[in-house]
Chain A
Amino acid sequence: MALFIYGTATNTGKGFFTHQDRQNFYLSGHPANVWVVGNNEKGALWLAEKNGVEKTKSEAQALVTAEVEAAQAAWDLLSDEQKAMSHRPSQITLP
């Protein structure tokens, strides 16, 4: 069985993921509203309850990559002084 479930869901704020959720299953959030969820019963139920759309790992990775590339493009347009105050966003590899 795969370790993770991949999906998209909009973070609605308070209660979107609870302290109990964090005890029950692995959860990490990424750009483009992509979530990596521990593949157990409670994790799968959480994604379903959040109206999440399940994705394959490659689909989820493509969404994240596109979002980071957009952030990189925005950073590239900053002035040299503005760039000096931050760093170019780096790509993310999903687990």
Chain B
Amino acid sequence: MASYNTIKGLTVKYLSADPANPEDGQVWYNSTTGNLRVEGMVLAGSWASGGNMSTARYQLGGAGTQTAALAIGGSPNGSSSTSATEEYGGTAWTGGGSLPGAISYTAGCGTQTAGLQAGGANIPAFASTTTNEYDGSSWTGGGALNTATGTTGQLMGSQTAGLITGGDIVPGVPRGIANVEEYNGTAWTAVTALPAVRQDQGTSGIQTAALVFGGLQDTNPATPNTVLSSTLEYDGSSWTAGGSLPAARKNLGGSGTQTASLGYGGNPGATPTNVNITLDYNGTAWSVNPATLVAGTQRAGYSTTAPSTAAIMFGGVNPSITAATEEYNGPSTQIKNITTS
């Protein structure tokens, strides 16, 4: 019988415990457990259920991480807005400090203890200059946006370095806007606009390295809207084209950085069913991630602050308005015993 030494030209390390950071494919003998062991990639990325929010809603803002997230406002029915904030600790949602006013079609960014909410409005109004800052327990007013905007999915960064892109000003004409503004913790400043009007896009990244993908171009209520597949990258001063999504999509979620981003869910057009697809961006191109949401969902809350390997999505429309949460974990490696016979 051939020995491992003969095959690999190496001897197997004899260790009393598993090594702290084994390389993929590394083999060793654990003398404590009496097992020959190997480090190998065995788990693909996947979405699992998280705790349900106390209130089903959509068009809400999100902030934080998978273990410390914030759900901000939203609409429970399409005809009214809520001022409710909920905090997530990794298992369950609990009530947080209420917003100064009810708001939906809004967006959030930052962390659970330093969150930022901007834009949106209280139905039947749709666009506003509202900005609020969260300190982990209560909201206080921030500097007003220079241009009123609505629609979730366009805010990223932090409470002291935020970026808001495009949006919707229904019932104004044109409905979509291309305005971009940066927040410094006190005031918003208009900066280089998007190349064209855009709303309902997915976003990720930070103020100086942002990513905008998909979305909707609504230039005039009298003409058909265009659902977009294009991606735009921002370097803190200008916008350039990135790799396109495999298919046009709007109202999708996004997490991660400009060079390692995750896009998920959304809707491909005016009436087709919501999608459960997850996409990866590597700074150049999008590819389909094998992990799927358990339910095709759009207009959900999500956190651009969360890394692409640990995303969180909550609420939304599937097509019912839902309180459900889904959590994404990226591919992982695992130590396995080797059995021989």
Assess the B92–A90 pair: CB atoms within 8 A: no
Docked CA distance A95–B59 (Å): 28
Assess the B124–A79 pair: CB atoms within 8 A: yes
Assess the B294–A28 pair: CB atoms within 8 A: yes
Assess the B46–A19 pair: CB atoms within 8 A: yes
Docked CA distance A75–B44 (Å): 38
**Binary interface encoding of chain A residues 58-95 relative to chain B, with 1 for a CB under 8 A from any of its CBs, else 0:** 00000000011001001101110110111111111000
Assess the B273–A92 pair: CB atoms within 8 A: yes
**Binary interface encoding of chain B residues 17-46 relative to chain A, with 1 for a CB under 8 A from any of its CBs, else 0:** 000000000000000000000000001101
Q: A22-B46, A84-B221 are in contact. Are A90 and B77 (CB under 8 A)?
A: no
Q: A23-B43, A81-B124, A81-B170 are in contact. Are A13 and B92 (CB under 8 A)?
A: yes
Assess the B170–A11 pair: CB atoms within 8 A: no
Chain A's interface size range is: 35 or more
Which B-chain residue is minimally distant from A21 (CB atoms)?
B48
Kindly list chain A residues whose C-beta atoms are within 8 Å of the C-beta of B283: none
Taking a contact as CB atoms closer than 8 A, the residue among A22, A67, A79, A81 that contacts B47 in the complex is A22
With an 8 A cutoff between CB atoms, is B91 at the interface? yes
Docked CA distance A92–B297 (Å): 12
Kindly list chain A residues whose C-beta atoms are within 8 Å of the C-beta of B329: 19
B198 shortest CB reach to chain A, Å:
16
Kindly list chain B residues whose C-beta atoms are within 8 Å of the C-beta of A88: 271
Docked CA distance A89–B298 (Å): 11
Taking a contact as CB atoms closer than 8 A, the residue among A22, A29, A86, A89 that contacts B291 in the complex is A22
Count of inter-chain pairs, beta carbons less than 8 A: 101
B18 shortest CB reach to chain A, Å:
21
Kindly list chain B residues whose C-beta atoms are within 8 Å of the C-beta of A78: 78-79
Q: A21-B48, A90-B319 are in contact. Are A28 and B295 (CB under 8 A)?
A: yes
Taking a contact as CB atoms closer than 8 A, the residue among B43, B52, B92 that contacts A11 in the complex is B52
8 Å CB contacts to B: which residues of A4-58?
11-19, 21-23, 27-31
Kindly list chain B residues whose C-beta atoms are within 8 Å of the C-beta of A11: 49, 52, 324
Docked CA distance A16–B270 (Å): 32
Kindly list chain A residues whose C-beta atoms are within 8 Å of the C-beta of B175: 84
Assess the A86–B78 pair: CB atoms within 8 A: yes
Docked CA distance A15–B51 (Å): 8
Assess the B291–A82 pair: CB atoms within 8 A: no
**Binary interface encoding of chain B residues 91-106 relative to chain A, with 1 for a CB under 8 A from any of its CBs, else 0:** 1100000000000010
Kindly list chain A residues whose C-beta atoms are within 8 Å of the C-beta of B92: 13-14
Kindly list chain B residues whose C-beta atoms are within 8 Å of the C-beta of A15: 49
8 Å CB contacts to A: which residues of B151-195?
151, 168, 170-171, 175
Q: Besides A13-B51, A30-B318, A79-B124, 20 other CB < 8 A contacts?
A: A11-B52, A13-B49, A18-B49, A19-B43, A22-B294, A23-B44, A23-B46, A29-B324, A68-B320, A71-B321, A74-B77, A81-B124, A81-B170, A82-B123, A84-B175, A85-B59, A86-B78, A86-B299, A90-B271, A92-B273
